[in-house]
């Protein structure tokens, strides 16, 4: 039985003060939620504030990125140990914004996944196709190649504990989510690939999130799909009310 996991990706939003305000209202709204795992993904500078603010709540702390080296001359980077020290549970790896804007490649993403596991945290690996790739019928080959390269060397035990977020790039930040059928098909395809690459047990255990314009009004139909085990929420996670609504709608399914 896979427990649904709804996580926020705040991207480049919220100061520490704004994160504190969010928590004051959000904690209250989700305090009786027990059947959905909740994650919050602040910027690096707010991780400590959010870590303190969620103490004792069961809410998980998610970082948005990491470097794969432990230390050294890597100006501007943050190590897995530094994230772990702050109480980080999950690290988002390979988000399409990192791939597209910052030129992150599968080779780097694979190293990050290994580094996250080595430091006792779990990766949330993001995969997804562009609008152009979708239009030319390449969705499955793109997902297949990303998973094959990103999961290289990942053990069955590790893969079973990780999270994969299928985020079609054309649905991110547009207000137009994928249809439930397309979101389900992407997640099912990713699960089947994990089975092929790492093994059946890992494929059954790995949690597949959908991401891309999840809102309270479409949460029910998306989250009730058989291979969708939760969501990675951007814009709608910035407001405590709409993020809590998505979580409570999922819990009632």
Site string for ligand 13P, 140-179 (x = CB under 6 A): ---------------------------x----xx------
Distance of CA 145 to the CA centre of its chain: 19
232 touches ligand 13P (CB under 6 A): yes
212 touches ligand 13P (CB under 6 A): yes
Total of residues contacting ligand 13P (CB under 6 A): 14
- Closest contact distance (angstroms) between CB of 245 and ligand 13P is 14
234 touches ligand 13P (CB under 6 A): yes
213 touches ligand 13P (CB under 6 A): yes
Give me the catalytic one of 18, 69, 95, 119: 95
Q: Is 95 a catalytic residue?
A: yes
Q: Which stretch binds ligand 13P (CB under 6 A): 55-63, 101-109, 134-142, 210-218?
A: 210-218
| 199 Rama sector, left if φ>0, alpha if ψ -120 to 50, beta otherwise | left
- Closest contact distance (angstroms) between CB of 172 and ligand 13P is 4
Measured distance between the N- and C-terminal CA atoms of the chain, rounded to whole angstroms: 14
Q: Look-up: residue for tokens 């790492």? A: 198
Q: Is 167 a catalytic residue?
A: yes
Q: How many CB atoms lie within 10 A of CB 221?
A: 16
51 touches ligand 13P (CB under 6 A): no
Q: Which residues contact 128 (CB under 8 A, 6 or more apart)?
A: 96, 142, 143, 166, 167, 168, 169, 172, 186, 211, 212
9 touches ligand 13P (CB under 6 A): yes
- The catalytic residues are 95, 167
Residues that bind ligand 13P (CB under 6 A): 9, 95, 167, 172-173, 211-214, 232-236
């Amino acid at each position: 039985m896979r427990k649904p996991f709804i996580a926020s990706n705040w991207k480049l939003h919220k100061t520490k003060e704004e994160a504190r305000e969010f928590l004051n209202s959000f904690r209250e709204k989700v305090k009786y939620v027990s059947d959905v795992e909740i994650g919050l993904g602040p910027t690096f500078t707010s991780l400590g504030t959010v870590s303190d603010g969620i103490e004792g709540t069961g809410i998980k702390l998610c970082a948005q990125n990491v470097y794969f080296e432990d230390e050294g001359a890597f100006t501007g980077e943050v190590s897995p140990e530094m994230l772990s020290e702050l109480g980080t549970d999950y690290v988002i790896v390979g988000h399409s914004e990192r791939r597209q804007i910052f030129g992150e490649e599968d080779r780097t993403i694979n190293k990050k996944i290994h580094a996250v596991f080595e430091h006792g945290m779990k990766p949330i690996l993001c995969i997804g196709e562009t609008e152009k790739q979708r239009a030319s019928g390449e969705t499955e080959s793109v997902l297949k190649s990303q998973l094959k390269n990103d999961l290289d060397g990942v053990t069955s035990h590790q893969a079973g504990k990780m999270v994969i977020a299928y985020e079609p790039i054309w649905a991110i930040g547009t207000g137009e989510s994928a249809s439930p059928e397309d979101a389900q098909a992407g997640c099912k395809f990713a699960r089947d690939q994990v089975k092929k690459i790492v093994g059946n047990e890992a494929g059954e255990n790995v949690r597949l999130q959908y991401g891309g314009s999840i809102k309270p009004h479409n949460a029910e139909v998306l989250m009730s799909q058989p291979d969708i085990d939760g969501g990675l929420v951007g814009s709608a996670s910035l407001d405590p009310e709409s993020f809590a609504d998505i979580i409570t709608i999922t819990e009632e399914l």
